[in-house]
Amino acid sequence: MWCAATLASAKFISGMSMVDSLLEFRDIRAAYGEAVVLDGISFAVPANGSLAVLGRNGVGKTTLLLAAMGFVTLMRGSIWFKGKDISHLPPHRRAQLGIGWVPQERDIFPSLTVEENLTVAARSGRWDIDGIYRLFPRLKERRGNMGNQLSGGEQQMLTIARTLMTNPAILLLDEPLEGLAPIIVEELTGAIRRMTEQEGIALVLVEQHAEVALGITEDAIVIERGIVAHRARSRDLLRDPATLDRYVGLQLETSAQ
Ligand SMILES: Nc1ncnc2c1ncn2[C@@H]1O[C@H](COP(=O)(O)OP(=O)(O)O)[C@@H](O)[C@H]1O
Ligand SMILES: [Mg+2]
């Protein structure tokens, strides 16, 4: 039964059949001890596709990315990448296969320069240091600076750039815009858009900034109570503030807190 449901959702999300999906969750259940966080999550991201994962604080967005990488044990369901069941592979194997995970913490080497941070991560493939500097001109300007001399926004760019140096087919970004000034948000979203639209890298973008995330993705899911409570094309959800407000709370809630 889940198979038919997954097929339907994959078609809904991508407009393609399941075989065309790059990353796919099939009916995922995941928990911390007794506390079930995800309870039947299915979605598919096609090659070159981009998916915004929205939802209020604590609904399980980070857990979803941890499950994709293999840091959370699945109680049910399977995860597929490039047509293979990767559910039982350890995190480093998933990374080798081409899943690039950028955790919420900006994880750079503080006592290495920007350029050293990039070269230690390098793996042969499409991306080299020049390509990275074209995508992030600000990192080129700061190439000789130490990691600990960078602003929050520059650290975030470096974290993403380091992951790109491993030549992933898909990037999983966990709230990359959190705490950044609007001008930096603009710079970073511009780079993310170029990565997906021009370089063909697929994307799963977890964000609290729903409107920004919807502006740079094709499809969106909203997580609530462990399930996918809403699916839509990003551009349609962007034009539907009532639905967005119901699930994500928009700015109304944040400014009231
Ligand atoms: N290591 C953990 N152990 C136990 N509970 C956790 C752990 N990490 C997260 N949780 C809980 O799981 C739920 C989902 O967390 P998370 O995936 O971080 O949500 P989000 O990223 O959407 O804010 C929350 O209730 C959180 O408190
Ligand atoms: Mg989180």
Residue 122's pLDDT band (cuts 50, 70, 90)? confident
Q: Which atom of ligand 1 is nearest to the CA of 64?
A: 17
Per-residue tokens: 63: 């857990």
Residue 5 is predicted with a pLDDT of 47
Residue 215's pLDDT band (cuts 50, 70, 90)? very high
Q: Which atom of ligand 1 is nearest to the CA of 63?
A: 17
CA of 125 to the centre of ligand 2 (A): 30
Q: β-pairing, 74-81 with 50-54?
A: unpaired
Would you list the domain boundaries of the chain?
13-98+204-247
Q: What letter does residue 19 receive in the DSSP assignment?
A: G
pLDDT in tens, 80-102: 999 999 999 999 999 999 999 99
Distance, in Å, from the CA atom of 80 to the CA atom of 68, rounded to the nearest integer, reads 9
Residue 112 is predicted with a pLDDT of 96
User: What CATH number matches the domain at 13-98+204-247, 3.50.50.60, 3.40.50.300, 3.10.580.10, 3.40.50.2300?
Assistant: 3.40.50.300
Pocket test for ligand 1, best of 37, 39, 54, 104 (most atoms within 8 A of CB): 37
**What is the rounded end-to-end Cα distance, in angstroms, of the chain?**
42
CA of 161 to the centre of ligand 1 (A): 26
Q: Which of the pair, 15 or 220, is modelled with greater confidence?
A: 220
CA of 63 to the centre of ligand 1 (A): 6
Residue nearest to atom 6 of ligand 1 (CA): 32
Residue 19 is predicted with a pLDDT of 53
Q: What does the pLDDT average to over 42-66?
A: 97
